[in-house]
Amino acid sequence: MSEPNPVAVVTGASRGLGEVIARILAARRFHLVLGARHADPLGRVANAIASLGPGRVVPVDGDITDASVRTRLIDAARALGGLNVLVNNASELGSIGPLTEFDVPRFGRLFPVNVGAPLALTQLAVPLLSQRRGLIVNITSDAARGAYAGWGPYGATKAALELLTRTLATELRERGVSAVLVDPGDMRTRMHQEAFPHDDISDRPLPDVTAPFWNWLFEQRPEDVSGERFAAQQEDARWLQPA
């Protein structure tokens, strides 16, 4: 009897890095559940990816902070047979500017999107992931460590996500579930352009530059990489970053 197709959930999958990750997983014969806020662009990406491989592609549109959307994502994975990989890629940048001018109530949006939703989705996913010794991939940023002027609120959310991810890797080890952090690096994406609306960012690489890393990561046994932090644009020997 042939092995069942592996299954992945990827959030923020309607463009940019999420779309690249989804395409790589599709080429690796994964069934996919793709999440994003807006139905039309998500549907176009899902249809395009469905033509790449033998796996099924299920789009689930809606705000990731909505509990019903998270439930639909995991229910869709269950209907496809289980869950091997969860990629928490959806995030929100917020305004760029000094902390002394930051609208503090705005944390009430950034933390739920960038920290609360990935954790809540992980909680729903763990029972399925534990059945297949699965992998949680949380997308981070060098802003979590760099103390870049103007990026404090976003960086704070990613720093929190990094701590939660390392803790999950420890707590879930006995359940056979692994968790890693991936910093994709500076890329030419819409989110980055929105951060600097008047700048020319054409010198930044497209998200496809991370493809070699993703192909390497999905070849690894999850338990061999759990708890690690990776920089997807480094050379092979330098992907692994100090925790």
Task: Kindly list the strands in the beta sheet with 135-139, ordered across the sheet, starting from the edge strand earlier in the chain.
Answer: 57-61, 31-36, 7-10, 85-88, 135-139, 178-183, 229-231, 240-241
Q: Which of 102-111, 120-129, 202-211 has the highest mean pLDDT?
A: 120-129
Q: What is the CB neighbour count within 10 angstroms for residue 170?
A: 11
194-211: pLDDT as tens digits: 655 555 556 666 888 999
Q: Which residues are catalytic?
A: 154
Q: According to the model, what pLDDT value does residue 7 have?
A: 98
| 3-state secondary structure string across 126-191 | HHHHHHCCCEEEEECCCHHHHCCCCCHHHHHHHHHHHHHHHHHHHHCHHHCCEEEEEECCCCCCHH
Q: What is the pTM of this model?
A: 0.92
**pLDDT-above-70 percentage for the chain:** 89
Place 95 in a pLDDT band, splitting at 50, 70 and 90.
Answer: confident
Q: Which residues pair with 138 in a beta bridge?
A: 88, 181
For the stretch 148-190, pLDDT in tens is 999 999 999 999 999 999 999 999 999 999 999 999 988 655 5
Q: How confident is the model at residue 2 (pLDDT cuts 50, 70, 90)?
A: low
Report in angstroms the alpha-carbon separations of 33 from 92, 208, 231: 20, 20, 25
pLDDT at 185: 82
**pLDDT at residue number 233:** 87
Residue 236: pLDDT band with limits 50, 70, 90 = low
pLDDT beyond 70 at 120: yes
Domains in the chain (CATH in brackets) are 7-241 (3.40.50.720)
What per-residue confidence (pLDDT) applies to 52? 83
